[in-house]
Amino acid sequence: MIDVPDIPARIFQTNSKRIRMVIGSTNYHHMSGKSLFEMERECAISWNMTGNPDPSMFCGNEFLDSTVAFPNGTVVSLIHTEYPGNRYDNCPSNPASSLGYPTCWTVTIGLAISYDWGSTWQHIRKPPHHLVFAVPYPYESQNLAYGWGDPSNMILSPRDGYYYVAMWNRNTIGEQKSGICIARTRHLLDPTSWRGWDGSNFTSILHNSPYHRNNKYLTNYICEPIKNFSSECTIFGIVWSVYIEQFVATIGCGTPDKSKSFYISTSNDFIEWTDMQAVYGRDDMDEDVKKKVTSFNYPSLWDPRSPTLYHDRNYNTIGQKAYLLWTSLGHSVSSDGRNLWATPLQFEKRNNTVTKVATRVK
């Protein structure tokens, strides 16, 4: 079981103005409060991974992620679902795979639902029919880590009424390239309704099980990764900026030359993105913060005024100022462990293009 911040912070507001946050664990304890800085953590477990050892059921190590709340208290969430074959006795004992990841590992995305503002959760359909995104290839222990995972938040576009999400495939597998896929739907409660980008339109079918499908029409199940991003980079969050009138993505990268900072990129349509711009990194940290950080991940943007000013209870809208939420990995669980940080930012623009992002703004 994992009980540490292991996905980006996902935040929504209830009808009683209570803030609720999902911060990612395979056994998740519900968190709520009057503000993000006054959160209470309940002892009861709100979500516990299924831990099914059968990869064709898509419910192994499950992390709640990407919530969307509705006025009636219904909340839907994507589920980042890892299948570590070495943990499920499904990884041959040989030098190439005995240590597990990055071999003996695949990932898919499912769908969960709550009817009580996120206090309790269940699969939206009985597994494996809760599946939303999978590459068209079954688990193979000898392959490098692959599959659609690490989704961004699901954001409702004010321009066309679709919900959009970004997700990441770590390594090329068959005809599916590595990189970031964009998908969209108008029906969040239907896991089969999403369609991925095929290079010219949103037609790719990504919910079909690779264990029960004839791959004769394989190209129908391939998503074309968007350009301008290294395959080692992931979009962890997307918000709509009323200040620059564009979508803003927060990005983390795994390559040595890019892992020392978080980045942003902007877009009008989720497909064409600007070059990544470094926004906050180790060199920007105060010394008392830096000494607790060995590495950092999971960036997202959050504007506490979003429900009041922009009528967005899911905090997917920001103004000129916002907080960069991110997770630090410390030296050990018993000392500085993992921590969630909120760093204030201010955007500056010219012709609706971000020209500068200042940190630690009051």
Partners of 113 in the beta sheet?
76, 122
Full-prediction pTM beyond 0.85? yes
- Supply the pLDDT for residue 323: 96
| DSSP element (H, E) containing 166 | strand 163-169
Q: What is the pLDDT of residues 189-204, one digit of tens each?
A: 999 999 999 999 999 9
Q: What is the pLDDT, as a whole number, of residue 243?
A: 95
Strand blocks (E) in 211-302? 233-241, 246-253, 261-267, 277-281, 295-302
Q: State how far the alpha carbon of 241 is from the alpha carbons of 69, 111, 266, in Å.
A: 20, 27, 9
Which residues in the chain land under pLDDT 50? 97
- Strand order through the sheet with 353-359: 295-302, 321-329, 338-350, 353-359
- How far is Cα 212 from Cα 54, in angstroms, rounded to an integer? 14
Closest to 154 measured CA to CA, from 261, 58, 70: 70
DSSP string, 329-362: E-S-TTTT-EEEEEEEEEEEEETTEEEEEEES--
Q: How far is CA 183 from the centre of its chain?
A: 13
242-271 residue pLDDT tens: 999 999 999 999 888 888 999 999 999 999
Note the pLDDT of residue 330: 84
What whole-number distance in Å separates Cα of residue 260 and Cα of residue 255? Answer: 9
Q: Are 60 and 83 a contacting pair, CB within 8 Å?
A: yes
